Amino acid sequence: MRSVRRLPILILFCWLSVGCSSSPKPLGDSFNAAMEERSLCSNAWVQLLDDWKKNGGGILDSMAATREQISKDQRSDFARLVRESWKAQSQPTSASFGDWPVPNDNFRIVIFSIDANGLVPKACEAPIWQDDWLYFEILTNSESWTVRRLPEMTVGLDATDHHSGSNWLFYWLFARIDESSLNTQ
């Protein structure tokens, strides 16, 4: 009876020993796989974004003008993706156009509204892969990290900070807004 009670413990010990004794992948292999995925995903989004730019897109003189271009662009997949994300959000953002930062819940709503299925490989559907492209649209000097500020950018936004600048661009590109709140002159 005593040996029967020990059997589950013995099986667990053997399973853990065998599972842990298998040779781990070298760190270099994991790093190389991550770099391959980064390259694959960045390239997939760059193709979408470059096509958008060829069709008159890109970050224009203002976010309002950029959004207007997207609403009229019937040729590029990226513009369609943005318009579909606007529709997927149940209501316009509660933030005033251009405000920064926005509440985390607002940011999450925008992220989850983007469905890039079929436009980029499955592993690349997270919209983070477009951050660099968007940021380089406003970068005017890479040595001094000078950026052009869009009129809607709030004074408190440090657009020279890659993280803040690209998050602002991403959010206000994809957020559903009440179009009547835009001041397009």
- Separation of alpha carbons 151 and 180, rounded Å: 17
Domain that holds residue 57: 37-179
Q: Is residue 113 part of a domain?
A: yes
Two tokens, residue 166: 């690209």
Q: Is residue 148 part of a domain?
A: yes
Amino acid letter, 6: R
Q: Is residue 115 part of a domain?
A: yes
pTM as predicted: 0.80
- For the chain, what is the domain count? 1
10 Å CB burial of residue 26 (0-12, 13-18, 19+) is exposed
Residue 163: the pLDDT is 94
Q: Is residue 22 part of a domain?
A: no
Does residue 92 come out as left (phi exceeding 0), alpha (psi in the -120 to 50 range) or beta? beta
Residue 61: the pLDDT is 97
Candidates 158, 111, 120, 159; CA nearest to 136 is 159
**pLDDT tens-digit profile of 67-111?**
999 999 999 999 999 999 999 999 999 999 999 999 999 999 999
Sequence-separated (6 or more) residues with CB below 8 Å from residue 65: 184
Higher pLDDT, 8 or 182: 182
Please give the biggest Cα pair distance in the chain. Answer: 87
Q: Is residue 10 part of a domain?
A: no
Whether residue 101 has a cis bond before it, omega within 30° of 0: yes
Q: Is residue 9 part of a domain?
A: no
Q: Is residue 69 part of a domain?
A: yes
3-state secondary structure (DSSP) of residue 161: coil
Q: Is residue 30 part of a domain?
A: no
Only one residue has tokens 């760190």, namely 27
Residue 185: the pLDDT is 40
Could you tell me the pLDDT band of residue 26, with boundaries at 50, 70 and 90?
low
